[in-house]
Amino acid sequence: MNERLQQFLSAENITQAQFADSIGVARASVSHILAGRNKPGYDFILNMLKRYPELNAEWLLTGQGKMYKSAAASSSRPQQRRQADLFDSLPDIFGQSQDTPAVPDSEAEPSRQDTAAIPPRESRIAVQEPAPHANIAATERDGARAGTTEHPVRQRNAARIIIFYDDGTFQEFGK
C-alpha cells in the first residue's frame, strides 16, 4: 500500500508534509508509512478518503482498478479544482465585486470648495503627570508598618563578589 500512497502523492503533486496536514495526521506518520515502518490504520485511510473523495478506495487498498473513481478525474483536474475553491471561498473584504467601482463617478473627485468648508478635527492628548518617586518608598514603609508588627532588620553587607569573564577566567573580591 505504501507504493500506491507514493503514486498518489506523485499524481497529486503534493509533498508528504502537505498530505499529512491535509488529512490531519502527524507528518511522521506519513513518513513511517511510506518507509514501510508502519502500516496505515483505519483513521488514516478514512481521513484520506474523506479528504480525497475522487480517490478509488479499492485501488488504494488492493491495487485493483484505477487510481481515481471516474476516467474524467485526472491528477491535474482535481488540483485545479482545489485551487479555484481556495480563492472562491475567501470573503470579499470590501463587500463589492472587482467589476463595480468602489466610489460612484459623481463622488470620485470632491471639489475643493466642499473640502475647504469642513473644519479640521481637533485632537486631544491627555498627559498624565508622573508621581514623585521619593514619596513612594516612604508610603510603602508606612503602609507596611500599619498592618503588621515591626521586626528589626539587621544590616547586611556583601561578603564576597565574584566576576566571571567571557574568556573563562574570574576575579574574586572579598573581605
Q: Is residue 31 part of a domain?
A: yes
Top-confidence range, 14-28, 115-129, 149-163: 14-28
CB 22 within 8 A of CB 82: no
CATH number for the domain that contains residue 65: 1.10.260.40
Domains of the chain: total? 1
Domain limits for position 62: 2-87
Q: Is residue 129 part of a domain?
A: no
> Is the whole model's pTM more than 0.85, yes or no?
no
Cell of 153: 532588620
Q: How many CB atoms lie within 10 A of CB 105?
A: 7
Q: Is residue 42 part of a domain?
A: yes
Instruction: Read off the pLDDT of residues 109-136 as tens digits, 9 standing for 90 and up.
Output: 555 555 556 666 665 666 666 655 555 5
Q: Is residue 59 part of a domain?
A: yes
CB 170 within 8 A of CB 164: yes
Q: Is residue 45 part of a domain?
A: yes
Nearest to 23 by CA among 65, 59, 60: 60
